[in-house]
Structure 1
């Protein structure tokens, strides 16, 4: 989205790579290898003597074998005494003299739609790796076939998401045929639903058919149309940390630095406690939060009301003031992660789910 304001990243202070406590992924031996090759000891290299076989020491090599597999179906033709011919039935789906199999279609759709690889590069893969020509028209048709087969699955995704306890929502600008659209997202830990639409607001949410039916806790970044939905809300504190950092660095708001530290501290305490704080500790941090808001009101007050008559309406606030009022007026939504175990600190899952479409574009 060319019009989206760039947000500064917050330095984490962590080194690149896996962090302490990170569970790594490594190869492990399998009990049923596909092929076993026994290596006999070269007795000529051993000291003189008599030896007996006592077993093997094993090492396993994991590899892949990319190859084209062409299956030719030959339907038997029978002819009776009168010259009438009878041909055996081909398997269902084998209709053409030459055609692509389901493995090719699945691989193509996976690379195109999940890995976000452009059509021409998918063509290169098939040509270079398995010496199989696949046109961009065929790749499109594979995607279309998958799309039509997933109609029932799509309805199940929407039903599962609408019935979940916690849901993440986000939206981002995308280019479709040279025109600007919005890609809407609803997701949880098990299900993800993308929905492109010309509009960004409530009309798109209604057409999407998930959020209007949702009654759980919705995690989002305080985009106002979400608050027209009849559900409980939880605000993304990753956004708040970035905005607080900006308020401190660019507007010299001391309260913002303190609030950032407080939110980070609460998040650490919640994680250490297993996802939810005890009432006494929660009340303590809520008291500190409100005290900081009062301090912020003094440091970042409302702008002066202009003396000139004429123009009416809401007086324009600074970004820091708008952030302060949001933290003050939506305290419960900001701190909901303290007292409700399924509620995360941020809406990072929604952002992560939608990010790959930006990479593809």
Structure 2
């Protein structure tokens, strides 16, 4: 299929306009014909813009399709280099480790064969061998049963509280199974097979789902406390993505401040879902998002539009129509972002902000002249006038100037929403692995448990340890740990 060269198409159109202008100056065009030609040229210029946009391929660099191709976030507010206040929990030091020290002695000289058994070593060279031995610890408790010689009553000894039946699996065993299904995203069948290969015990899929349900129930108070904590954070990242449940598309909504993450499942994407979650309607900080219209309806909080999305859209405008204003705006936003990242305070001075805002407005003014005018809606015709992507982006940048540039003056506000997008990537991996959830019940369970594991990973906790903490009912202090982590960062 032949392609259209954008530069030659515009050159031809400009040449036609110049010829019409010369005819107009020579008085060879009547007033009625000149008005008709003006309308046709205006429509043709818009059609050229739209045509070039439609023929320009969208990629991860000039659009949000797909979000998983977002480049590494070099614009995120910097944190301390440490992995968290509990970083030792992630290294595996908390796991069982047996060290066997052996010594290789030297008794005879390799050169002359002399006896060296009584000679002190001058140095040591150490080598380490690491291996894993899978071991199942089986504890058997025998309770005595005695009959009273007086009243003939039988009395049985008490079993430990964690042994309510003839056979049960310990917290570590349950945590391993949950980790396989939720964190490692294995199917139930493969998780059961792996557990059997390691332990020799054949679990049923219903037993595995029962462990997941138990953890889901035990995290209810943690989720409530986490939602209350997010309301106190100065900035939040918000995002959403499609989630297949029972062969139908639902929506996974994510809210995070970087260290603490909450995921919620709802059948709707917009305001109904946001109201059901109940965090954003009560939030008064800065909400960082991708300009989804439902977020912008909440005026009690301030907004920051994702710079990565804006840069990709500007790249598409440059690729399709090569507008100078889009190229200049892209350069300005990148420059402002790097200035913020290189500043000691994480913000720019008032003079720097004022200069960037003036350049921002100048670029948009020049952009309005560079793009073709949108013709008015014909009388009697309802609806909005169709606009090109470039016009829509220009209007958005003009309308939401404060929301685009807020990162320059507030230290807790990031230029991008990449932090929120990262939190939903594992959900897309889950969909690729399993296709969908068969029941809504366990889809909700996956959201809550993965929220908890993601939040604990930010603090440096091994997922196996984090699950055991939750099953033991000791998650009350974890929110305080997030507060200390955020304060340190």
Q: SS of the counterpart of 1:10? A: coil
Task: Work out the CA distance in 2 between the residues paired with 1:72 and 1:106.
Answer: 21
Q: By how many angstroms is 1:62 displaced? A: 4.3
Q: By how many angstroms is 1:93 displaced? A: 2.8
Moved more, 54-63 or 69-78: 54-63
Q: By how many angstroms is 1:299 displaced? A: 1.5
Q: SS of the counterpart of 1:346? A: coil
Q: By how many angstroms is 1:334 displaced? A: 0.5
1:90 aligns with 2:154: no
1:321 aligns with 2:385: no
Larger radius of gyration: 2
Task: Work out the CA distance in 2 between the residues paired with 1:324 and 1:64.
Answer: 59
1:279 aligns with 2:350: yes
Residue 301 of structure 1 contacts residue 321 of structure 1 at CA under 8 Å; is this kept in 2?
A: no
2:175 aligned partner: 106
1:236 aligned partner: 306
Equivalent residue in structure 2 for 1:9, among 56, 60, 63: 60
1:135 aligned partner: 204
Equivalent residue in structure 1 for 2:417, among 314, 333, 347: 347
1:303 aligned partner: 374
Moved more, 123-132 or 239-248: 123-132
Task: Work out the CA distance in 2 between the residues paired with 1:7 and 1:77.
Answer: 76
2:477 aligned partner: none
Task: Work out the CA distance in 1 between the residues paired with 2:365 and 2:269.
Answer: 35
Equivalent residue in structure 2 for 1:187, among 251, 256, 261: 256
Residue 116 of structure 1 contacts residue 356 of structure 1 at CA under 8 Å; is this kept in 2?
A: no
Aligned 1:27-42 pairs, distance under 5 A: 34-42=98-106
**Cα deviation code 1:24-56 (max 9, x no counterpart):** 99x99x9x9731322232323445255125675
Residue 117 of structure 1 contacts residue 360 of structure 1 at CA under 8 Å; is this kept in 2?
A: no
1:73 aligned partner: 141
1:64 aligned partner: 132
Task: Work out the CA distance in 2 between the residues paired with 1:189 and 1:211.
Answer: 16
Moved more, 59-68 or 252-261: 59-68
Task: Work out the CA distance in 2 between the residues paired with 1:99 and 1:156.
Answer: 31
State TM-score, norm by structure 2.
0.65
Runs (4+) of structure 1 exceeding 6 A deviation are none
1:259 aligns with 2:340: no
Residue 7 of structure 1 contacts residue 242 of structure 1 at CA under 8 Å; is this kept in 2?
A: no
**Long gaps (5+) in structure 1:** 1-5, 16-22
Q: By how many angstroms is 1:118 displaced? A: 2.2
Moved more, 294-303 or 344-353: 294-303
Aligned 1:158-173 pairs, distance under 5 A: 158-173=227-242
2:193 aligned partner: 124
Residue 68 of structure 1 contacts residue 131 of structure 1 at CA under 8 Å; is this kept in 2?
A: no
Moved more, 81-90 or 197-206: 81-90
Q: SS of the counterpart of 2:374? A: coil
Q: Which has the higher contact order (CA 8 A, sep 6+)?
A: 2
**Cα deviation code 1:242-291 (max 9, x no counterpart):** 11111111233232122112211111111111321122222222222111
Q: SS of the counterpart of 2:357? A: helix
2:24 aligned partner: none
Task: Work out the CA distance in 2 between the residues paired with 1:349 and 1:54.
Answer: 54
Kindly indicate which of the two structures has a greater share of residues assigned to helix: 2
